Structure 1
Amino acid sequence: MSEPGATAILRAVDRGAFAVALARRLRVAGVPVTFTALGAVTEGLAASPPGDVTELYWLCRVTLVHQPHDLPTFDRVFDSVFRQAVLPLEGQARGPAAAAEAEDRAGASPEPGATDQAAGPGGGLPWHTRPPVVHGDDAAEGQPLPDVLLPSAVAAVVDVAFEDLDEDGLALVGAWLEQSLRHWPMRTSRRHKVVHGGRRIALRETIARSRRTGWEPVRLSRSRPVLRPRPVTMLVDVSESMQPYATAYLHVMRALARSGRAETFAFSTSLTRLTPALSHRSAEVAMRLASEQVTDRYGGTQLASSLGALLASRHGSTLRGGVLVVASDGWDSEEPRLLARLMRRASLRAHSVVWLNPRAAAPGFEPLVGSMAAALPYCDAFLPAHTLRAVLDALDTVVIPGTPGGQALPARLTTTG
């Protein structure tokens, strides 16, 4: 191995990330790599960092390959990554600037046999552990790649329309929604708490601390507003036109109701509050209780009257500063002008309004239905919610994960004509 004090070729490289990424390339090529082998190569890199590519080759070969018939495949993968790559190892180890300089030098006079990219699955060098994005013919046409890792059973139905799922599939969707609902929309309150690096000076805490320094404020205490969860209210259409999606939306409502910070309502010709029923510990019992309470399901649609009943009830006050989620295809037997007036009231009372329409995913869809067109100008977001993936994207829009509380959703939509 390398002599003491020799320059290592993988300086400033995460050994664990390097081992995992190289093992992934070998596994894709057909070489089985165990977790024990990953630990061995990581320990070897730490104990005796290789000084050149030959030492790195023997270290990886001894620790990662255990069958003689896998040696040709290992040699091919290793050569494509380390010996045929345009970017030298030293440039990548020193940092982006050195790597760019090395790339320019390599591009000016490439060596014979060099390739444009480090061959192997995903391109790039093996310490880049982000999974590659498949484009072109490698990806199934029309099938989006998952953004998160999902259980195999959930991944099988994540892009299946709700109307094509059976009861077991809908139950699986509901269970996953309950587990995946981890974030919640937040808002800033009037209370402040002392934190390091806050924007506002906490006068009381600063003065109290100055008693130790002769009433001289040597150090300033700072504070920031305390975040509070926003109330969420979900209103779901269970009329005849929404029958293929009603059960799936009940599971979405249950996931919200189980959080203890949301109100859920179903409507067809009248409004029914389902929060107590959907909060039951058993999903089967919750669905049965909800079905028994909604006596007018799969009937006509009175969207405007149901929204008016919600605004006039004691639960209408929970809309103030909260998020209103309406799940409906927009078909209504009442005047669109009445719905527009009530939607305007709801938009002024709520922090944001999100409309979920499962029909919006159809090719060539346009919100030209009278009630839908009347309600659209007062919505902050208009989204399809016909599959589990679409529902998860809609929940991300409601929650705005990763952003501080108190920020608004996208600007309200407008329509022409």
Structure 2
Amino acid sequence: MSSGVLRGIDRAAVAVAFADRLRHAGVPAGLTDVGDFVRALAASPPVSLSTLYWTARVSLIRQHAHLAAFDRVFAAVFTDAPPLPPTRSAAPSGRRDDVHVPVPADTDNATSGGGLPWATLPPAVAETEDSEAVTRLPERRPAALAGLADRPFDELDGGQVALLGEALREAVAAWPTRRTRRHAASPTGRRVALRPTIARARRTAWEPVEVVRERPVRRPRRVVLLCDVSESMRAQATAYLHLMRAFAVVADAEVFAFATTLTRLTVALRHTSAAAAVAQASAAVTDRFGGTRIATNLRALLASHHGDAVRGAVVVIGSDGWDSDPPGELADTMARLRRRAYRIVWLNPRAGAPGFVPRVAGMAAALPYCDRLLPAGTFRDLMDVAGQLQSVTCTDGLKWPTRTPAPRIIA
């Protein structure tokens, strides 16, 4: 309480201790009455002793016969008045109002003028060896995932990265679907299926007695992920592999790793064990932690038989933009990829830094053909990426921002 006669005092402890004094004096103050008193003190903090008196009286007194005992206890507690002998209030005969709880023999607790104890403590069984020891409270620490959310990937060990990978898999567990042009029979459909309806009408003299309805078939939006595993992406490579595994297992995505050559990791990352999947994927990439040729690898993907997987898919490229190929080749390849893909999302681990500007030649050449540039330098960023990709998939192209030469940068 910021102001008033009970400044800095625990209101619940005041109410409980005062009600205990009232019960010793013969006033039946129950739990409901104490709760009303606590809520009244919270709603209207008393600014004077008179306000406190009426707040307690209205909340704790239900019968007129208890007023005298209440006044005695209130005066003894809050005004340090001399104790008065316990007396019974006169009440009309024939009523139960004159029945009081008998006052115990030891009434020092009830009417003493020593003030109100602000906390009701249990009786001490035995004294501690060190009575001057300071009470220590438990230290509150963040959870395991919360403590790792904002730490850079190069500061995490293998077990911590695996823990984050499982959290990423749970984040994309409910992968949204998109509406296709195909239809399937369904009793809840709005469209009449003509061929099944006419086929059934042949058995009823061409009268469509049984109408068959159909609805559009929904399928998961395809996702294609490409992860840069060159030397400049050494710290983020393992974490990005866990992100790719989450989409490969849940969303049936096609995943690739590239440095100087392109390597398909879809089969390896679909292993039931996360550790085994990452180990197999790392062993499959023979040019890991080498140079980077983004334009060459994208052309190889579009020219291979996996190029059809890009058509109508959400393409996610995780790279810092450092490329040994000429920027013009990367721009031409990104233009081809943009015409074939549904959306292009670029993950840059350095995009979350304050004042980030894509000045790298490769990043500057690819940026006009990306729909969105997202930071991916910490685990929290990857969780946000999972949410962003889910919003891309479930919009069916209606609410996603239109492609412009200068896409939005989220830093």
Give the TM-score normalised by structure 1: 0.60
CA separation in 1, counterparts of 2:312 and 2:369?
Answer: 15
CA contact (8 A) 2:185 2:214 kept: yes
CA contact (8 A) 2:220 2:251 kept: no
Flag the 1:415–1:179 CA change in 2: closer, same or farther, 3 A.
closer
What's 1:191 paired with? 182
Structure 2 counterpart of 1:379, which letter? C
Flag the 1:194–1:379 CA change in 2: closer, same or farther, 3 A.
same
Structure 2 counterpart of 1:153, which letter? A
Mapping of residues 225-236 of structure 1, within 5 Å: 225-236=216-227
Flag the 1:196–1:79 CA change in 2: closer, same or farther, 3 A.
farther
| Structure 2 residue corresponding to 1:172, chosen from 163, 178, 183 | 163
> SS of 2:335's equivalent?
helix
The yes-or-no answer on 1:76 pairing with 2:76 is no
Flag the 1:399–1:290 CA change in 2: closer, same or farther, 3 A.
same
Shift of 1:343: 0.8
Flag the 1:413–1:402 CA change in 2: closer, same or farther, 3 A.
closer
CA separation in 1, counterparts of 2:271 and 2:229?
Answer: 20
Shift of 1:393: 1.7
> SS of 2:350's equivalent?
helix
Gaps of 5+ in 1: 1-28, 32-56, 66-70, 85-150
> SS of 2:295's equivalent?
helix
**Which range moves more in the overlay, 245-254 or 387-396?**
387-396
CA separation in 2, counterparts of 1:213 and 1:82?
Answer: 78
Shift of 1:81: 5.9
CA separation in 2, counterparts of 1:278 and 1:320?
Answer: 22
Flag the 1:197–1:349 CA change in 2: closer, same or farther, 3 A.
same
What's 2:230 paired with? 239
Flag the 1:408–1:219 CA change in 2: closer, same or farther, 3 A.
farther
What's 1:275 paired with? 266
CA contact (8 A) 1:277 1:290 kept: yes
Gaps of 5+ in 2: 1-10, 14-28, 47-141
The yes-or-no answer on 1:313 pairing with 2:304 is yes
Write the deviation string for residues 247-270 of structure 1: whole angstroms up to 9, x where unpaired. 110111111222361111111111
CA contact (8 A) 1:352 1:409 kept: no
CA contact (8 A) 1:376 1:413 kept: no
Give the TM-score normalised by structure 2: 0.61
Structure 2 counterpart of 1:327, which letter? G
What's 1:52 paired with? none
Mapping of residues 195-214 of structure 1, within 5 Å: 195=186, 198-204=189-195
Flag the 1:209–1:82 CA change in 2: closer, same or farther, 3 A.
farther
Structure 2 counterpart of 1:182, which letter? A
Flag the 1:382–1:81 CA change in 2: closer, same or farther, 3 A.
farther
Structure 2 counterpart of 1:228, which letter? R
CA separation in 2, counterparts of 1:222 and 1:402?
Answer: 27
CA separation in 2, counterparts of 1:75 and 1:288?
Answer: 64
Structure 1 counterpart of 2:169, which letter? E
Write the deviation string for residues 151-203 of structure 1: whole angstroms up to 9, x where unpaired. 93222222323233222221110111122222335332222235566553444
Structure 2 counterpart of 1:76, which letter? V
Shift of 1:236: 0.5
Question: Which of structures 1 and 2 has the bigger CA Rg?
Answer: 2
Flag the 1:75–1:375 CA change in 2: closer, same or farther, 3 A.
farther
CA contact (8 A) 2:302 2:337 kept: yes
Write the deviation string for residues 340-397 of structure 1: whole angstroms up to 9, x where unpaired. 1111111111111111111000000011221111111111221111222221221222
Shift of 1:234: 0.6
> SS of 2:384's equivalent?
helix
The yes-or-no answer on 1:380 pairing with 2:361 is no
What's 1:257 paired with? 248
Shift of 1:210: 7.8
What's 2:315 paired with? 324
CA separation in 2, counterparts of 1:152 and 1:214?
Answer: 70
> SS of 2:250's equivalent?
coil
CA contact (8 A) 1:185 1:405 kept: no
What's 2:406 paired with? 415
Mapping of residues 129-168 of structure 1, within 5 Å: 152-168=143-159
Report the aligned-residue RMSD: 3.5
- Equivalent pairs: percent with the same residue? 49
CA contact (8 A) 1:329 1:359 kept: yes
CA contact (8 A) 1:381 1:412 kept: no
What's 2:126 paired with? none
Structure 2 counterpart of 1:253, which letter? M
